[in-house]
Amino acid sequence: MVVFVLNKYGKPLMPCKPAKARHLLKKGKARVISINPFAIQLLYGSGGAVQLITLGVDPGYDKTGFSVTTDAKELMSGEVQLRKDVSKKLSERRTYRRNRRSRLWHREPRFNNRVASKKKSWLAPSIKHRLDAHINLVEKIKNLLPISEVIVEVASFDTQKMMNPEISGVEYQRGELQGYEVKEYLLEKWGRRCAYCGKKNVGLETEHIVSKSRGGTDRVSNLTIACRECNLKKDSMTAEEFGYPDIQKRANQSLKEAAFMNSIRWRIVNVLNCKWTYGYITKYNRKKLGLDKSHINDAFIIASGSKQNRVASYNVRRWRRNNRKLQLNRKGFKPAIRRQRYKLQPHDWVKYFGQVVPIKGVHCLGKYVLLENNKSVSVNKISLHKYGKSWQFLPRVNSGVSLPRFE
């Protein structure tokens, strides 16, 4: 474990050991500017000698790994859990907007006004969030350490070959639905009978094997044919939960991650103006060192890691910090939006009877908070330990390394 150090002007220096940081704090030569990750700023002038430091990034759709190494040791590593609720929030916003417009009596018609989607570099909001998260992560690490070079893994996925390993030649231009309409294709595929109960000569409906509310897609491999009764009974369950594991196996893996990497892999490199490597090189070097497959180990290999001493890694999470929410007033009054921002927010860390715990929610006009065990506590009985910013670095519980305490 190391302590990150900034100079008097806020520029990153080489990190130091916890003992040295404790010594500087006791003598009043430094001040704490961050708890997780723990960082101090010197209050006096110092030299700016730094070593060659490499940052390796293993991008992903849900999780991203990073590792910072020198020739002798690893300085920092972790795994970032990206947000998964962007699409859901956009759908909610669309619902609210349409409800507002439906209550208007007069509204001038508008056409052809979606200018953003016509831009050449436009990305879907959920994809853009992930792209920005990768770039912000690199910038955040650069604020803690004097990074010399950044290396990002880029990978190109042949999605058709992932679905059909035997595909070749002209078959790339002939999709799975060649010569069929979707409903007719599914009827032929499933023998014109309900995939669950086997009924024939009844009304059949197109049905998702993994429902869209559970992350399923509209790809043909995730669609089947079911009668009305089975479709209603299955509801949002997967086919396996509904008691048909064989049908679940026929739903191929999701290609969201592959499509994401194909769309943004070079954008990350171009924005960061950094070096890159390929997945097969990472895989070869990881197996050569006998490391398990994980985002953190891949990032360590990408950062030219080999025999360096490893450090305890971080669990990093991205949170939505905006707590503005639609609120319905009682007694039939019009809906109102709570615009007041309370002093304590979800994901802030507070001290409660000597323990440091995160806040799950705020209620009663900010006078009470919900802790992680759903216990409601008055704000008068707790004290603020640390504001929970949109990036939260938390030590991994299973890292096996004892972490220093700074009181």
Q: Angle at CA 179, nearest 5°, toward 177 and 183?
A: 60
pLDDT of residue 252: 54
Same domain, 270 and 308: yes
pLDDT of residue 15: 92
Q: What is the DSSP letter of 48?
A: -
Indicate whether 169 belongs to any domain.
no
Whether residue 268 contacts residue 131, with contact meaning beta carbons closer than 8 Å, is answered with yes
Indicate whether 295 belongs to any domain.
yes
Q: What CATH code is carried by the domain that includes residue 69?
A: 3.30.420.10
Same domain, 244 and 222: yes
Same domain, 267 and 310: yes
Indicate whether 195 belongs to any domain.
yes
Q: CA–CA distance from 202 to each of 223, 236, 294 (Å)? A: 18, 22, 48
Indicate whether 116 belongs to any domain.
no
pLDDT of residue 118: 63
Q: What CATH code is carried by the domain that includes residue 219?
A: 1.10.30
Indicate whether 218 belongs to any domain.
yes
Number of Cβ within a 10 Å radius of residue 259:
14
Same domain, 306 and 375: no
Same domain, 35 and 60: no
pLDDT of residue 402: 33
Same domain, 45 and 138: no
Number of Cβ within a 10 Å radius of residue 361:
14
Number of domains in the chain: 4
Indicate whether 111 belongs to any domain.
no
Last residue of one domain, picked from the residues 233, 252, 271: 252
SS3 385: strand
Indicate whether 101 belongs to any domain.
no
pLDDT of residue 322: 64
Same domain, 41 and 66: no
Same domain, 152 and 197: no
d(CA 65, CA 134): 10
Same domain, 133 and 223: no
Residue 202 structural domain: 176-252
Q: What CATH code is carried by the domain that includes residue 343?
A: 2.30.30
d(CA 347, CA 331): 32
Indicate whether 107 belongs to any domain.
no
Q: How far is CA 407 from the centre of its chain?
A: 32
Last residue of one domain, picked from the residues 222, 252, 282: 252
Same domain, 58 and 45: no
Last residue of one domain, picked from the residues 252, 286, 309: 252
Q: CA–CA distance from 167 to each of 159, 160, 171, 176 (Å)? A: 11, 7, 6, 11
Same domain, 285 and 352: no
Same domain, 148 and 75: yes
Q: List per-residue pLDDT tens for the chain, 407 residues long.
A: 789 999 999 999 999 999 999 999 999 999 998 888 899 999 988 877 888 999 999 998 888 999 999 998 999 999 999 888 888 888 888 888 888 777 766 666 666 666 665 677 778 888 888 889 999 999 999 999 999 999 999 876 555 554 555 555 555 455 555 545 777 777 777 788 888 888 888 888 888 888 887 777 777 778 888 898 888 888 888 888 888 877 766 655 556 666 777 778 888 888 999 998 988 888 889 999 999 999 999 999 999 988 888 988 999 988 877 655 555 555 555 555 556 678 888 888 899 988 888 888 888 888 899 997 788 999 999 998 888 888 888 776 443 333 333 33
